[in-house]
Structure 1
Amino acid sequence: MGITGVLLIICGAGLSWAAEATASGRMGINSLVGIRVGYVTVSEPAWRAGHRAARPLTHAAAGVFAALGIFALVFCGAESTSGAAIISGSLLVLGLILAAAVKANRAARAVVLAASPHGRA
């Protein structure tokens, strides 16, 4: 479980970095990093608004990844215990990321509708 713990910590750090880079506008619309659902990819302002709205949930998911990694490193010899915790924690990360995507889409939709001449997308 040692390598798993290290990889989970790296995933958490990478996810946290991506949340900041996309929310701040340092990383614009692209095909590799970020939330790409519905209204989020319509424009750069929608992209930034969506990622700013999703930032807290994305950081929470990154924190769960890091905590799981530390847990896996501490309980390295207890594969059954750490394995169950990692699976449960990964499901929590999935839920947080899905919630972040919904929140991002709603925020981006508001930006797109505000920019539309008739208030419709």
Structure 2
Amino acid sequence: MQAEIIQLMAVLGGLGVLLIVVGAVCIKGKLPMNSLVGIRLAATMVSEEAWIAGHKAAGPYVILGGICSAAGAAAILLVPTPAPPTLASITAAGVVLFLVIAALVASAAAKRESLTK
């Protein structure tokens, strides 16, 4: 197997694991406001409560993005194809889609939380 394909699988697999772990932490409400990891939108940055509410709501979609990434890594390994970059591009599009949905859901949940205060 070519080194580039192995690197591609490692990046997609690592990203998948990272997103799954971060998503699980979000669902539990344990991701504190920080400058490194999280959905940093105006609505989620209003307060700690809005941040937590937004991330709890977004967590499942972040996990789905991670599953998509890990599945893409597995597909590159398992599906006989002459074009792993094509599979990687499809995988990246899926991950971006789930993360955009996560951001929209987080924003809506954070806004609802801000209105209740």
What TM-score range do you get, normalising by the shorter chain?
0.7 to 0.9
Residue in 2 that maps onto 1:72: 76
Deviation (angstroms), 1:111: 0.4
Deviation (angstroms), 1:16: 1.1
**AA in 2 matched with 1:55:** G
Residue in 2 that maps onto 1:103: 105
Q: TM-score, normalised by structure 2?
A: 0.88
In structure 2, C-alpha distance between the alignment counterparts of 1:69 and 1:79, rounded to whole Å: 15
Residue in 2 that maps onto 1:8: 12
For residue 101 of structure 1, give the secondary structure of its aligned residue in structure 2: helix
* Deviation sequence 1:17-63 (CA, Å, 0-9, x none): 11122332322000100111121111111111111111121111100
**AA in 2 matched with 1:40:** T
Gaps of 5+ in 2: none
**AA in 2 matched with 1:47:** W
Gaps of 5+ in 1: 116-121
**AA in 1 matched with 2:26:** T
Residue in 2 that maps onto 1:50: 54
Is the 8 Å Cα contact of residues 27 and 60 (structure 2) preserved in structure 1? Answer: no
Q: Percent identity?
A: 28
RMSD between aligned residues = 1.5
